[in-house]
Amino acid sequence: MTPLRSDLRLAWQLTRGSGRGEWWRIALTAAGAALATGFALTAAALAALRGTYRVPVAHGLLDQPGTRSGVIVGLLLLLVPVLGFLGQCARIGAVHRDRRLAGLRLAGATPWQVRRIAALETGLACLLGSAVAACCAVPLLLRWWERPGAPAWAGIVLVALAVPLLGAVAGGLALRRVVADPLGRVRRTGPRGGRGPGLLFLAGLCLVGLVGALTVSGASTTGADRPAGAPLLAVLGAAVAAGAGAVWLSGAAAGATGRLLAARARSAAALIAAERLRDDPWAAARTHAAVLLVTVAGTGFLGIRRVLGDVVRSREDLDASFYLAGLDLAGAAVAVALALALSALAVGTAESVAARRRTLAAQVAGGVPRAVLGRALLLETALPLAPALLLAGVGGTAVGAWYAQLAGRPVPWAIALVPLAAYAACLLAAAGSLPLLRRSVRPGELRYA
- Strand 186-188 to 178-180 pairing: antiparallel
What's residue 420's pLDDT? 92
pLDDT in single tens digits along all 449 residues of the chain: 567 777 777 777 776 666 555 677 788 888 888 988 988 888 888 888 877 777 767 666 777 777 888 888 888 888 878 877 877 776 665 555 656 666 776 777 777 777 777 778 788 888 889 999 988 888 887 777 777 778 888 888 888 888 888 878 876 676 665 555 555 555 554 445 556 677 777 887 787 788 777 766 655 544 444 445 566 676 667 767 777 777 788 888 888 888 888 888 788 888 888 888 888 787 777 778 888 888 888 888 888 888 888 887 877 777 777 778 888 888 888 888 888 888 888 888 887 887 777 788 888 888 888 889 889 889 888 888 888 888 888 888 888 888 888 888 888 888 888 899 999 999 998 888 888 888 777 776 666 54
Distance of alpha carbon 116 from alpha carbon 101, whole angstroms: 11
Q: If we measure between CA atoms, which residue out of 124, 40, 122 comes closest to residue 85? A: 122
Distance of alpha carbon 92 from alpha carbon 97, whole angstroms: 9
List b or e across 303-316, with b for residues whose CB sees 16 or more CB atoms inside 10 angstroms: bbbbbbeeebeeee
> Which residues make Cβ contacts (< 8 Å) with residue 69, sequence separation at least 6?
none
Contact (CB, 8 A) for 291 and 253: no
- Cβ neighbourhood burial of 236 (10 Å; 0-12, 13-18, 19+): middle
Query: Taking the C-alpha atoms of 357, 94, 345 and 261 in order, what is their torsion angle to the nearest 10 degrees?
Result: 40
Cα→Cα distances 326→74, 81, 208, 300, 359, Å:
11, 21, 28, 16, 50
Distance of alpha carbon 223 from alpha carbon 94, whole angstroms: 54
**If you write DSSP's letter for every residue of 107-150 in order, what string do you get?**
TT--HHHHHHHHHHHHHHHHHHHHHHHHHHHHHHHHHH-SS--H
Contact (CB, 8 A) for 91 and 84: no
Distance of alpha carbon 32 from alpha carbon 166, whole angstroms: 12
